[in-house]
Amino acid sequence: MKTNTGTPVAVAMLLLLATFVSAQGHWEVVGLTGVAAMHAVLVAPNRVLIIDKAEPNPNATLPDGTTGWSCEYHLDTNTYRVLPLKTNTFCSAGAFLGNGTLLSTAGSGAIKQDNINAQSGFAAIRLFQPCQDDNCWWTELPARLSGFRWYNTMVTLPDGRVLNLGGSKVQTGANSVSTNNPTYEIYSSTGTSDAFPIQFLIDTLPYNLYPCVHVISDGYYQGYLFIFANRQSVIYDIKQNRVVKALPDIPGVPRSYPLTGSCAYLPMTFENKYNPQVIICGGQAVQSYTSPADNTCGRINLGDREPAWEMDDFGGQARVMGDSVALPDGTMVFVNGAAVGTAGYYEDGHYLASDPVLFPVAYDMNAPKGQRWTRYAATTIPRMYHSVATLIPDGTIWVAGSNPNPEPRQDVKFITEYRAEVFTPPYINPSKPRITITSFDSSAINEGPISVKYGAEYQVTFTIASGAKPGTITSSLINTGFKTHSQSMSMRCVKLLVGKVTANSDGSYMATVQTPPNAFIIPPGPQYVFLLNDGQPAKTAVQVSIGA
C-alpha cells in the first residue's frame, strides 16, 4: 500500500520540482575564455570576439611566446583562438560599420612586462573582419583618433558610419576637467573625422565615462541621438552639433562609471510604430565601497514630445554593473553585477564592489507596472567589474568575465574569471517542440550574412518535430551589441511583422517576415533574425546584413 501511493507522490513532486526549475531557466559552465572578457561582441553565428586589456592571461600564449589579450570564442566547440594585438585595448569600445567590418578604438597606455609588449592604445583604430573559419585577424591602422579616448562610447549610425564619443585622456577613476575629452568624431570610409566639441560632456562631469548613446528610431526626434551620462540626458543633433532638447534628470542616483548603471534601448515593434524608449537600471549614489547599490530603473519614452522619466524598481534587487541583454521575445534581461559598491579595481586592501548578485531579472516592457519583473535562477559565479553578457543565436545568453583585480589573480576572493557560462532562459522549454530554420529567402543559413533590405518581405522556411504543428510564429531582428562595462552599444531588438504561415508539401513550413522600414529603427550592419514558435526561439537564428 505504502509503496503504491508513495511512488506517484514522489514522481509528482519531482515533476513539480522540474517545472519549478525550468520556469527560472538554468546555468551551465561551457568553457574557458583564454583572455579575461572585458569586452565581447558576437561576430559570427558561432563566434564571440573577446577583447581584454594587455595583461598576463595565463592561457593565452601566442605561437611566438608572447601573451595575447584578445581571442575568438567558438560557441560550437567551446574553444578559443588567441588573436594577436599590438595596442592596449584597456576599457575601449567597438561598433560594426554598416558594411559589416567591426571597428574597435581607444584603450590605454603602453605596457612592457613579462611576455607583453603593448603599444599605447589611447588613440588606436583597429578593424576586424569577421569570418567563419580561422583566418580572420585584427588589422591595426596607422591612423589615429583625433585624441585620446579611454572609456569612450561607439555606436553605428543610420548611414553606416560610426560615432565615437567622449572618454578620458588618461587612465582615471571618475573623470575630471583636466582629463576629460568632451568631443566626438565620426568614422567613415575616409577614416575618422576631426573632433567636434560637446558641452554635454562637460556638464556631466565627473560621471560621464561610457556615456549611453542610442539612435532615436521614430517620432518627432527620429534620427537624432539620445545621450545620457551621470543623471542628465539630451536629444542631440550630431549633424549640426547642437542640443535639440535637454531632458529632465533621471530621479535618484548617478548611473555612469564608476557609479555604473545599465542602459539599454527597449525593443521596438511594428505595433508600437517602433516607438523609441530607453531604460536605465541601477547605479550608485556615491564612490564608496560600502554603499548599497541603487534599486531603481528609469524608463523614458522618446516618442513623446516632452519625454519624462517613469520610475520603477529593479526587479526587487539593488544592483550596480548589471548587463542588459535584449531577448527575441521582447523581454530585457539584466544579469551580473553587485549589490554593494562601485566599478573599479581592488585598492587599499578592499574590493570596490562586493555582494555579487547571482540571479538575472527579466523586464517585460508591455506588462503593467508592478508585474514587469521576473526573477530567474542564480548562477554560482560572481561577475562584477569587467564582465559581459550577450545573446547568442540559439536564444541563450553567453556570460563571461569578471576581473576586479588589476592583474589576473586566482588566489583571491574575487578571482579573474575565465569560465564562460550559458544561461538558458525559461522560454526554451524542452517539453515544447522547438522549430529549426532551414532556409531564408531560399538561401542556406549562417554561411555568412544574407543581405536584406529595409521594408522588404522574406520567406523563412522551418521544420518542426514530426507530428507537431506550429503555434503562433513571431520574429525579431536583433543587433546583439558590443558589450562592455554594462553598456550594450548599438544593441537593438525589433519585432517583425509575420505574415501567414503556410505548410509546404515536404512537411516543412514557411513564414513571411517583413524587415523594418528604415535605418533609424535599426542601423545597417550584421544582425540576426530570430523566429519563435509560441514564444520559444528556433534552434538557431539567421545572420543577415541589413542595408549594407
Q: Whole-number minimum distance, CB 106 to Cu ion, in Å? A: 12
Q: Which residue reads 526626434 in cell numbers?
A: 221
Radius of gyration from C-alpha coordinates of the chain: 23
Q: How many helices (H) and strands (E) does the chain have?
A: 2, 46
58 interface partner picked from Cu ion, ligand NAG, none, CB below 5 to 8 A per type: ligand NAG
Q: Which does 101 bind (CB under 5 to 8 A by kind): ligand NAG, Cu ion, none?
A: ligand NAG
Distance between CA 388 and CA 411 in Å, rounded?
22
Residue 537 pairs with which residues in a beta bridge? Answer: 532
Let me know: does 229 contact 256? Beta carbons within 8 Å: yes
Applying CB under 6 A, which of residues 29, 30, 32, 195 lies at the interface with ligand NAG?
Answer: 32
Piece of the chain touching ligand NAG by CB under 6 A; list 96-104, 348-356, 363-371, 494-502: 96-104
**HEC readout, 448-500:** CCEEECCCCEEEEEEECCCCCCCCCEEEEEEECCEEECCEEECCEEEEEEECC
- Which of 259, 297, 295 minimizes the C-alpha distance to 281? 297
Cβ atoms < 10 Å from Cβ of 239: 9
Per-residue contact string for residues 410-429; x = within reach of ligand NAG by CB under 6 A: x-------x-----------
- Residue 95, C-alpha cell as written in the block: 561598433
Cβ-based neighbours of 176, under 8 Å, separated by 6 or more: 205, 206
With residue 87 as reference, give the H or E element that holds it: none
In the set 31, 100, 130, 401, which binds ligand NAG (CB under 6 A)?
Answer: 100
Please give the helix or strand (H or E) that residue 395 lies within, else none: none
Residue 525 C-beta: closest distance to ligand NAG, Å: 10
Q: Which stretch binds ligand NAG (CB under 6 A): 99-107, 170-178, 266-274, 490-498?
A: 99-107
How many residues form the binding site for ligand NAG (CB under 6 A)?
A: 12
Between 129 and 354, whose beta carbon lies closer to ligand NAG? 129
Tell me which of Cu ion, ligand NAG, none is bound by residue 100, counting a contact when its beta carbon lies within the kind-specific cut-off of 5 to 8 angstroms. Answer: ligand NAG
Of 127 and 243, which has the nearer Cβ to ligand NAG? 127
135 binds, among ligand NAG, Cu ion, none (CB under 5 to 8 A by kind): none
Is there binding between residue 58 and ligand NAG (CB under 6 A)?
yes
State the pairing for strand pair 397-401/262-265. Answer: unpaired
Residues 444-473 that bind ligand NAG (CB under 6 A): none
97: partner contacted, choices ligand NAG, Cu ion, none (Cβ within 5-8 A by kind): ligand NAG
- The rounded distance, in Å, linking the Cα atoms of 471 and 460 is 15
Place of cell 509560441: 534
What whole-number distance in Å separates Cα of residue 116 and Cα of residue 128?
A: 21
Is residue 272 close enough to count as binding ligand NAG by CB under 6 A?
no
Judged by CB under 6 A, the residue of 22, 24, 59, 146 near ligand NAG is: 59
**What residue 91 binds from ligand NAG, Cu ion, none (CB within 5 to 8 A, per partner kind)?**
Cu ion
Binding mask of the shown chain, residues 517 to 546, with x at each position contacting ligand NAG by CB under 6 A = ------------------------------
189 binds, among ligand NAG, Cu ion, none (CB under 5 to 8 A by kind): ligand NAG
By the criterion CB under 6 A, which residues form the site for ligand NAG? 32, 58-59, 97, 99-101, 127, 129, 189, 410, 418
